[in-house]
Chain A
Amino acid sequence: AQSVTQPDIHITVSEGASLELRCNYSYGATPYLFWYVQSPGQGLQLLLKYFSGDTLVQGIKGFEAEFKRSQSSFNLRKPSVHWSDAAEYFCAVENTGFQKLVFGTGTRLLVSP
C-alpha cells in the first residue's frame, strides 16, 4: 500500500527566511501529489498539486513544490516566510484511479519574529 512520510513533525523558521518541508511517498507508478495547509481548528486548503508535466509546480501564497521521481519526493518550498504562514502542512498522494487520498502525518510550521 502506498504511504506518505513527512519526517519533520515541527519546524521553526524566522520570518523572512526560506522554507522547505519534506515529503516522501511510497508508490510504484507516478501518483497525483498534493500539499494542503490547515490553520488551527479549521479544515484543509489546497496549496498546490502535481498531476503530470512540469515537475516544478506553483501554488497559492507564494508556495512551490518540486516532484523528483528518482527520490520519490515532493518537497514544498517558499523563498520568504511570513508570520501568517504558521500552520500545519500536509502532503498527500492519490493512488491513481482509486480516488482516495493518503495523507502524511503533517508538519507544524512555527514562524519566529
Chain B
Amino acid sequence: DGGITQSPKYLFRKEGQNVTLSCEQNLNHDAMYWYRQDPGQGLRLIYYSQIVNDFQKGDIAEGYSVSREKKESFPLTVTSAQKNPTAFYLCASTVGSGANVLTFGAGSRLTVL
C-alpha cells in the first residue's frame, strides 16, 4: 500500500546534538512538508518542498534544515540551534497541483533530555 513512513517513532536527544528525522513516501507525490505539533498550538509549517532539489522555509524554520535529493525522501534535521525541539513532528505529501489534500505520516516524537 502507498503511504508515508516516518522514522523513528520515538527519539531522545541530549541538548547540543543534531538529530535527523526520516520521511519516505511511495505515493509519487511531488510536494512534501514538515509540520511541528505542540499541545494547544495546532500544526506549524517548518519547511516544504514542491520539487526535487528545491525547498522553502515555512513559518518556523529557524533551527531546522532539510534536503530533497530524491522525490521520495524529505529528511528533517533538528539542529542544536533549535531552542525548544521537544515536539511531535509530522511529515506530509501531496500531488502538488494545488488544492492540497495532504497525506500524513504517523509522526515522530522527539524528546530532548
Chain A positions within 8 Å of B, measured between CB atoms, are: 9, 32, 34, 36, 41-46, 49, 51, 90, 94, 96-97, 99-101, 103-106
Per the bound structure, the CA–CA distance linking A65 and B41 in Å amounts to 23
Give the shortest distance, in Å, between A59 (CB) and chain B (any CB): 12
Give the shortest distance, in Å, between A11 (CB) and chain B (any CB): 15
Whether A106 lies near B45 (C-beta < 8 A) is no
Partner of A41, one of B50, B96, B100, B107: B107
Give the shortest distance, in Å, between A32 (CB) and chain B (any CB): 5
Q: In this assembly, does B40 line the interface, its C-beta being within 8 Å of a C-beta of chain A?
A: yes
Whether A97 lies near B42 (C-beta < 8 A) is no
Whether B45 lies near A90 (C-beta < 8 A) is no
Whether B40 lies near A46 (C-beta < 8 A) is no
Q: In this assembly, does B104 line the interface, its C-beta being within 8 Å of a C-beta of chain A?
A: yes
Whether B102 lies near A44 (C-beta < 8 A) is yes
Whether B40 lies near A99 (C-beta < 8 A) is no
User: Which residues of the partner chain B approach A43 to less than 8 Å between Cβ atoms?
Assistant: 4, 90, 92, 104-107
User: Which residues of the partner chain B approach A49 to less than 8 Å between Cβ atoms?
Assistant: 99, 101
Give the shortest distance, in Å, between B31 (CB) and chain A (any CB): 6
Whether A99 lies near B104 (C-beta < 8 A) is no
